Every structure is written in C-alpha cells, then in structure tokens.
Chain A
C-alpha cells in the first residue's frame, strides 16, 4: 500500500479543527478545566461560608461527647459516649434492618415468584395481585402504613395481645422469649462451624466425583442433616445449656425477653414485602429465560424431572436471577434509610440527622454517610463483576 493512502496522511490534509483526534483532545481538556473550575468555585464558597459560620473543618468532632440518647442500640451506648460511637450505633442498626429485610424479602420473593408461574390458576393470580399491588405503592407510604396504621394503634402493654403467656404484642413492640446461653454453650457453636466446614468439603468431593464418574451424591439432604444434626447432638450431649427468659409485665412495660420495637418491625415488614415483589419478578424472569427446549433435551437424555430441575434449569435460571437479586439487595439496603421517617435510629437518622444538627459539620457527616453506602454498593458490584465473569456463557 502506498504511504500517501494511510489514514494519518489523509487526516493531515484536513484542517486541524476537523481532525477527530484533535477535537477529542480539545474537548477533554475543556471538560477537565470546566470540572476543576467548578470544583474550585464550590470549595472556596464552602470554605468561606464555613469560616463565616464558625464551623471548624475536620473530623475532630467525632471524639466529642454526643449527649443524646438513642432509642435502640446493638452495642452499649448512652449519652456520655462520643459522636463517633453514634456513627457506629447507626451503622449497626442499618445493617440489622438490611440483614433482616434481605432474609425475609428473599424468602417472600422466591415463594411468590414460583407461585406466579404455578399451573394452579388461583395461586398464580394471587401472586400476580401481590406483585402488582406492592410494586406500585411508594415504599415510604408502606412504611408509614405499617407504623401509623397497624402497629401504633395496637393496645397498651396492659391489654397486650397475648400468645400463650410467652409472646406479647402491644404498641411498645413485640416481646418474645429470649434464649439465654449458659456455660458451655459455645461448644454448640463450634459444632455448627465444624458441620459447615464438613458440608463444604463433602460438596466439593461430590461435585468432583460427579464430574469424573457421573455418580450423584445427595449433597443437599446430607448437608442439611449435618448442619442441623451435629449442633443438636452436641447440645444434647453437654446437657442442654440454655434456658428461655420470658418477658414479664412490670410497671408500664415489659421487661426481659427479646424486644422488637415497632419502628424496626414496621421497617422490616415494609422493606421485605416491597422488595419481595421485585425479587419475585426477578425469579420469574429467570425461570422463564430457560427455554422449554432445555427441559425437553434433558428429558430426551433420560434425566428425571428432579434432576433436570437441579442440573439444567436452576443453574441457568440463577445466571439471570443473581444479578437482579444483588441489585435488589442493594436497593433494600439503600431504602433502609427511609427509617428516618418513622424515627428508627439508623445511620441516616442518628448520624446524618441528630449528629449533624448538633454539630453542624454538614460536609463531614454527609460525606461519611454517603461513604458508607458507596462502599457497600461498590463491594457488591465488585462481587457482581466477579460472579458475571465466572458464570458468563462461554460462546464459540
């Protein structure tokens, strides 16, 4: 090929401002300059504004005494602790709601998603109604409904709804017996840990054997047996080192036992019902993405329906379900910040609310709060990318 036909030489004939490379470089330089100028403008404004209001920048305020109480805390906390401690309390409460919400939402989602595909007309219709109702109502409204319309109007502690003198429900919350561990209970935990490790080893061995010989191994039932059986056996052998502490009515409220405050209950109910509807749709789309030909091919190979489900349908459906599921988990975690509307002490309520109002350190507090959510979502998207790479269809 003659040198004058190469792209560079034709491009050089055009005027400079018509060359793509030049225009790209110019545009990007302008963009960077624009962003820097904008950032500088914001920074100088913020600094002058803060100076004028007498706010000192920096994270020193975190070690000051907070001086306000928090409704519910998973770690020891009182007014004399620091603002740094309030951050931790809020974070733990957020994680508690998110964890509980994810657990129940997954359960509801898979149940309803499968029900919607059921051959049973009535069950499928009920699942559809559930999904279409709760998906289309704002989550904040649902949280307020559970809190203001259902849980607040419950009777006072003295007229509690009483289930077998053990479980009490009133407008102060739900009170259930709390299992109290006695000496030696840690052995049960150790047994559970051993069981989990054993199940992982068995599953790997079974998978390898199946790849090599085609022989199947009942991993699920053996695993379940190990995880349930080993701790129970240990518990029984070392003489049942646990008793239940029942809630007792004293004065104006119950004491003892485990207490679920109505704010937490409303939040978990609303989050799991709302997110469950979205997860159900994800599950349905995942199952429907596996074409019927796959089932037919598996039957033609002589696989039984159960085996087909386990080895052909579920692995392919999970490839579609898992990414949507993670993004719903992420949404649920972020939505748990709506707690602030009903006064549940989550990260946003405690830290970006009370702490911010008391200290006035808006920039630091908002940055820390956003930082927490950002790191959670970055961690989850890193997991997603890793998963996608692992499970991606290898196409020829």
Chain B
C-alpha cells in the first residue's frame, strides 16, 4: 500500500517575500506610491549627504580660534571654545565644581528610583522634591560655609535653563492639581475663582506674563522691596504653566467614573483622603502623556526668559554670536542649541511613553 506523500510546497514567488516583497508592498504597491517613493528618496538624497558632509566630514573640531576653521564645513571649534559659557553662563569659573556637584548629586539620587526593589522610594522622592532644591539653592548662591556668594544674575547657560524648568515643574504640578480640584468643586465661588484664574493665564502669551512680572511686580510691592529678577521669572512661569497643568489634570478627573467618587464617600473617606487615595492616583495615571507634554512645553518655554534679560542657554548662544571674533557662526551655535534642547525634549517624551506602558494596568485588551 502506497501512502500519499504530498508534493513539497512551492516556495512563494520571489516577488512576494524578502527584500523585494517588502519593497513591493511598502514602497511600490501602486504607480502613485512608486512616484511618492521616488520623490521621498530624492528629498533624502538632496538633504542628508550634504548635511553629513557639512556636520561631520568637512567639519573642524579642534582649535581655539576661528583660524582653525579652514575645511569649509561646520566650525564646531566655536561651540568648543564657548562650551563652558553655554553650560554655566557667567558663573565664576573657579566655582564650576558646585554646579557639577549638584548634577552628580541629582544623578546619584535618581538612580535608586529606577531600581525596582529599593525600599525607601517615597522618602527619597520627597527628599528630591524638598531637600535637594534647598541644598542646590545654597550651593549655587553660596554665602554660607565659606562659599563665595554668587548673585543670581550670574547664573546662566544650561544650568539656568534646568533650574527654571525644574522649579517650574515642581511648582506648577501641585498648583495645577489644586486648581483642577477647584474647578471641579461644587462650591460656586471656589469654582469661579479657579475658572477665571485658569482661563486668564491660558489666554495670554507667556511673553506678556514675563513682561508683567518684570515691569509690574515691582509696582505691586511696597516701596523698597527688592525682588530677585530670576524669582520673578520663576513666579511668572509657574503661574502660567499651572493653568495648563490644571486643564490636563481636570481631563483625568473627568475620566474617572462617578462610581469611584461614590465608593470613596461610602467608605467614609474625607474629601482629601478620597482624592489622595482613590481619585488622583487613577486620574494622574490616565493623563501622564498630557503632564509630560506640559513639562516639555515648559522646558521649551524657558527660552523666553532671554527676552527679559536672563541668560539661559539660548541667550548665552545669542550673546556669543555677537562676539566680533566669531561673527558668522550662527548656524553652528543654533544647531548645537537645537540639538541639546531636542535631546531633553525627545527623551522626556520617550520616557512618558515607557511610563504609560508600565502603568497601563487593567482595561488593556
């Protein structure tokens, strides 16, 4: 008795698998698609090779004056010579170690937060939010423990950008939560005060807020009060961003089903307990992307302080462009700045995506 042995399967046509198959489905599936592909490829070939040649192949990397830039490509020497100023602003050079120390400290403090089984996460987190800023403030401004006093007008560069951004984040987050709760409140006056506050700050551009904080705050305060310029900018940024934060948090609060509120009440929890233990943990988790987007917007908005005369990184670069020894290197300077800002913003957005996936418990299909 002969058994039936099926003929071995024919391999799929060469045009449907492998590189050719992939290209046929993804690049050349139809005539219009093929034309699009060719157009896109043309765009890539017209931009990428000259860009790489300018930024890497023909670029000058080492040197200490513009005479070193002879190859015709990018002159990164400009960025190299000015690098310390871009990072530390006008901070006295002998005191750079303080800023470096603060940077090392925050990295060291953050590492345990990423270790899954680290036991004192909450305490450490609170220390980072409350204790660390105090340490950094005294470290940067000095005046005690024999540290030289450095006034805030000498803070600058990327350091100032990061200080502004982190203070803005730390201040706008709790304020935003309070405003969001106020807007959802059943008390009519609390509600209308929150609505007016939020809509006012959301309706005006940040520049006018900064102008207001630098021109009008001195008028608002009693005669002779000295108010630090940096602090004024920080207050403006924090108030402005808290309104945006409030709207993001409100979105999360609205998404929590009414049953959760009722269940918390039925358990006899007070308002603050039911918010803190039941509602906010769920609501904030829902709006992580929105919160991180607000943080990214805040980080980008810190550049606006250059208009009221603070020297953040972009302002340092703008000042460097006006240096008569280095005229004509605007592209290099601004490209470097764009790269630094891009790294920060892009990694924040990627981190939020990862966090979102990690916290996505339940409801996932």
- Partner-B contacts on A (CB < 8 A): 24, 27-28, 31-32, 35, 42, 45-46, 48-50, 52, 118-123, 126, 132-133, 135-142, 144-145, 148-149, 152-153, 334-335, 337-338, 340-341, 348, 352, 356, 362-363, 366, 369-370, 373-374, 376-378, 381
Contacts and interface: CB of A to CB of B under 8 A. Distances in A.
A228 B43 CA distance: 32
Contact of A334 (B200, B205, B221): B205
B36 interface: yes
A121 B34 CA distance: 11
A141 B211 contact: no
B13 to A, nearest CB: 21
A369 B200 CA distance: 13
B40 A120 contact: yes
Given A45-B219, A366-B216, A148 B330 contact: yes
A121 B203 contact: no
Interface stretch (B77-85, B118-126, B331-339): B331-339
Contacts of A335: 205
7 contacts: A27-B190, A45-B219, A138-B341, A141-B303, A141-B334, A340-B307, A348-B211
A288 to B, nearest CB: 15
Contacts of A135: 345
Contact of A27 (B187, B207, B218, B337): B187
A45 B218 CA distance: 9
Classify the secondary structure of A's interface with B: helix
B208 A378 contact: no
Interface stretch (B25-33, B65-73, B89-97): B25-33
Contact of B341 (A52, A136, A152): A136
B189 A140 contact: no
A340 B207 CA distance: 9
Contacts of B27: 120-122
Contact of A363 (B204, B216, B345): B216
Given A120-B27, A337-B207, A149 B223 contact: no
Contacts of A136: 296, 300, 341-342, 345-346, 349
Contacts of A119: 26, 29, 33
Given A138-B341, A334-B205, A28 B211 contact: no
Interface in B189-215: 189-190, 193, 199-200, 202-208, 211-212, 215
Given A341-B307, A366-B208, 15 more contacts: A27-B190, A45-B220, A45-B221, A120-B26, A122-B37, A136-B346, A137-B338, A137-B345, A338-B304, A362-B215, A366-B211, A373-B205, A373-B208, A377-B199, A377-B202
7 A-B pairs with least C-beta separation? A136-B345, A121-B26, A334-B205, A377-B203, A138-B300, A149-B330, A28-B189
A224 B41 CA distance: 33
Given A24-B187, A144-B314, A145-B338, A153 B300 contact: no
B328 interface: yes
A381 B321 CA distance: 41
B44 interface: yes
Contacts of B41: 122
B318 interface: yes
A76 to B, nearest CB: 27
Given A122-B41, A136-B341, A136-B342, A338 B215 contact: no
A375 to B, nearest CB: 8
Contacts of A141: 303, 314, 334, 337-338, 341
B306 interface: yes
B187 A374 contact: no
A174 B199 CA distance: 39
Interface residues of B, number: 57
A139 B300 CA distance: 8
B324 interface: no
Given A28-B189, A140-B304, A348-B208, A366 B330 contact: no
A141 B223 CA distance: 37
B190 A31 contact: yes
B49 interface: no
B222 interface: yes
A42 B346 CA distance: 41
B19 to A, nearest CB: 12
Contact of B216 (A126, A348, A362): A362
Nearest to B225: A45
A203 B41 CA distance: 41
A27 B189 CA distance: 10
A348 B212 CA distance: 12
Contacts of A142: 338
B154 to A, nearest CB: 22
Contacts of A48: 223
A337 B29 CA distance: 46
Nearest to A148: B330
B36 A118 contact: yes
A144 B318 contact: yes
Contacts of A356: 211, 215
A121 B215 CA distance: 52
A52 B200 CA distance: 30
A126 B40 contact: yes
Given A120-B36, A126-B44, A141-B341, A374 B203 contact: yes
Q: Which of A123, A144, A348, A374 has the most CB of B within 10 A?
A: A144
A220 B29 CA distance: 29
Nearest to A32: B189
A89 B319 CA distance: 30
Interface string B284-296: 0000000000001
A152 B296 contact: no
Contacts of A133: 342
Nearest to B345: A136
Which of B29, B33, B211 counts the most chain A CB atoms within 10 A?
A: B211
B208 to A, nearest CB: 5
Contacts of B318: 144, 148
Contacts of A24: 186-187
Contacts of A49: 218-219, 223
A45 B232 CA distance: 17
A337 B205 CA distance: 7
A128 to B, nearest CB: 12
B26 A153 contact: no
Contacts of B334: 141, 144-145, 148-149
